[in-house]
Amino acid sequence: VLLLIRSYCWCVCSRNVLFYYSSGITVGVLASLLILVYMLSKLVPKKSGAVVLLAAGWSTALYLLQHMYLNLQSLLQGYLPYILGYLAVAALVSFAVCYRYGPVTNERSLDLIKWGIQLIGLTFVYNGTQLPAASLTIILLAVLWANIPERLAQAVRTWFPRKIRRLTQEEYEQQAREETRRALEQLRQFCNSPDCNTWKTVSRLEKCSPVRFAKFVEGDSHLSEDEVCAYDSE
C-alpha cells in the first residue's frame, strides 16, 4: 500500500524510459491479436463489414484469452515452443515500434500517463482491503498528500527538521584520506592524458619544483619524508 501511495504521489514511472519500453512491450504482446484483427478489417471493402469483423474480432480475442487463462497449464505443456516463439516475435515487434517513436516527451501526454498510473494505483489501494471505509480514507490521504502546496510542505519541513548524523573524528579522517587519494589519482590521470598542457601546468607551479611534480605524476608520493615526519611529530 505504501509503495502504491508513493507511486501515486511522485509517478516517476511516467517519465521513466524503462517503464516506457516494458509497458509498450507488454501492451504489444497482449494486443497483438487485436492489431491483427484490425489489419484484417482493412481488407474488408464495406465499412459495415469492417465494423462487424472488428467487433467479432474483439469478442473472439477476448474469448481466446479467457480460454487460454483457464487452460494455461495444459497449453504450456503441449504448445510451449510455439507460445515462447509468439511471445518473442510480439515482444520484438513491440520493442521496434517503441524504439521507432521514442519515449513520450509531450507534457500533456506525460500528464495523461501519470494520471493513468495514479488511477491504477488508487484502484489497487481500494481493492487491497476488505474495508471500503479504510480504503477510501487511504485514498483521500494520498490525494491530499500529493496536492499539498510546496510552501506548506517547506514549512512543515522547517518545523520538523530531519536529524543530521554528524561524522565522528575517525570517520572524518577516513573520508579526508579517501577523498585526497581520489583527487590525487585524478590529477595524475589528467597530467598523463593528451588534454594536459605540460608547459602551462609547469608554469603554474609556485611552491613545488617541476622535478618533484614530475615524480608525483610518475607515481611517487605527494609528500616528502620530511613532511611526513613533521606531520607525525605534531
Q: Please say which residue of 100, 129, 150 terminates a domain.
A: 150
Q: DSSP 3-state assignment of 223?
A: coil
How many CB atoms neighbour CB 72 within 10 A? 11
Looking at residue 88, its amino acid is A
The closest alpha carbon to 120, from 140, 147, 139, belongs to: 139
CA torsion angle 107 18 138 158 (round to 10): -70
Residue 11, burial from CB neighbour count under 10 angstroms (0-12, 13-18, 19+)? buried
Number of compact structural domains in the chain: 2
Looking at residue 46, its amino acid is K
Same domain, 142 and 211: no
Same domain, 132 and 203: no
C-alpha cell belonging to residue 184 = 590525487
In a domain, 72, yes or no: yes
Same domain, 31 and 84: yes
Q: Please say which residue of 94, 119, 150 terminates a domain.
A: 150
- Give the mean pLDDT of 147-172: 76
Q: DSSP 3-state assignment of 182?
A: helix
Spatial separation of the C-alpha atoms in residues 86 and 80, rounded to whole Å: 10
In a domain, 120, yes or no: yes
Same domain, 67 and 128: yes
Same domain, 212 and 129: no
Give just the sign of the alpha carbon dihedral 114, 115, 116, 119.
positive
Q: What is the pLDDT of residue 165?
A: 80
Task: Express each pLDDT in 35-56 by its tens digit.
Answer: 666 665 565 555 554 555 555 6
Same domain, 141 and 199: no
Residue range(s) defining the domain that contains residue 94: 2-150
Q: Please say which residue of 150, 181, 211 terminates a domain.
A: 150
pLDDT > 90 in the chain, percent: 0
Same domain, 139 and 210: no
Same domain, 34 and 116: yes
C-alpha cell belonging to residue 14 = 511516467
In a domain, 118, yes or no: yes
Same domain, 217 and 141: no
Same domain, 128 and 216: no
pLDDT > 70 in the chain, percent: 69
Same domain, 123 and 229: no
Claim: this prediction has a pTM higher than 0.85: no
Same domain, 117 and 37: yes
In a domain, 29, yes or no: yes
Reported for 188-195, long-range contacts at CB under 8 A and 24+ positions apart, including other chains, are 188/216, 188/217, 188/219, 191/217, 192/217
Q: DSSP 3-state assignment of 221?
A: coil
Residue 3 clears pLDDT 50, i.e. is over it = no
